[in-house]
Structure 1
Amino acid sequence: MARKARNSEEYEALQPLYELIARHEAELVCQYDAFAGYCEQAERTGEQNLPLYKWTKATIENPEKEAKYVKIFTIYVQGEEVYDKTVAEKLESELKPMVGGPVIEKLSKYDSNPANNPQPPKKYLN
């Protein structure tokens, strides 16, 4: 089902999710694709020495991690990956009833504060 969502394919089980996302002027973004897009942008702008780039590049080149991240999706609202907390809370409240069903296994919400998010491992800091 993740493959269908990743390709925005029509699939009956995904329809309620697609409708919810559309109501919020949002889109599903496969986390693997977001990582790959970040790496492509960093390569175009010459930022390959950044720890985040090194860590992300290692992630997308690891087949086990690829298998994990092609099943994880982020929601962008109006084209933005970071949006107001009230918007995130509204989305979360509408998505929660779908958790544990055939479409959403787990739901997580992250904020933009680096202190609250994973940081690159030390091996990528050099």
Structure 2
Amino acid sequence: MESTLQFQLRITLASELADALRTDPACASHPALRDVLHKHDATLKCQFDAFADYVREAERLGTENYPLYQWTRETIENPQKKAKYLQSFTVYVNGEDIYSKLIADDMEADLLKLVGDDGIKGVARFDTNPGNNPQPPKR
């Protein structure tokens, strides 16, 4: 029986490469990474940028409908956390931030081959099981 869990991959990059990829979504500055992403119909999004987008949207539409607003705002305003999330990128496949185990396995294998190569520091896998992940803070 196939798992109903879905997965997400994130990569951690050295500061210089992270800065370059935030302004270069096509990953021209890292051809090997660009090729892996293209093979899997994948893109990257900097976690800091995703958090900042969430905060802006919440402030525009009303923070009462965004349960993680306060936590997210505090995170992007904290210099240590900002530095961490500026180097962390979520891998999206076909525009989705979670995907099947088969897709995650295949792409993770390709990404792991790049660790240590020109600024790629690590690959992390997360799943949708709430027991394996931190839960949103209580208001």
**TM-score range with shorter-chain normalisation?**
0.7 to 0.9
Higher helix share: 1
Matched, 1:32 2:48: yes
Higher strand share: 2
> Following TM superposition, by how much is the alpha carbon of 1:50 offset from its aligned partner in structure 2, in angstroms?
4.9
Q: Which residue of 1 aligns with 2:69?
A: 53
Map 1:2-81; keep pairs closer than 5 Å: 2-8=18-24, 10-11=28-29, 14-48=30-64, 50-81=66-97
Q: Distance in 1 between matches of 2:50 and 2:70?
A: 15
Matched, 1:119 2:130: no
Which deviates more, 40-49 or 112-121? 40-49
Asked whether the 8 Å contact 1:96–1:107 carries over to 2, the reply is yes
When the two chains are superposed, the root-mean-square deviation of aligned CA atoms in Å is 1.8
Asked whether the 8 Å contact 1:25–1:77 carries over to 2, the reply is yes
Q: Which structure 1 residue ranges, 4+ long, deviate > 3 Å from structure 2?
A: 47-51
TM (normalized to structure 1)?
0.84
Q: Which runs of 5+ in 2 are unaligned?
A: 1-16
Q: Distance in 1 between matches of 2:116 and 2:31?
A: 16
Q: Which runs of 5+ in 1 are unaligned?
A: none
Q: Which has the higher contact order (CA 8 A, sep 6+)?
A: 2
Asked whether the 8 Å contact 1:35–1:56 carries over to 2, the reply is yes
Asked whether the 8 Å contact 1:4–1:10 carries over to 2, the reply is no
How many residue pairs are counted as aligned between the two chains?
Answer: 121
Which deviates more, 71-80 or 34-43? 34-43
Asked whether the 8 Å contact 2:55–2:72 carries over to 1, the reply is yes
- Fraction of identical pairs, as percent: 45
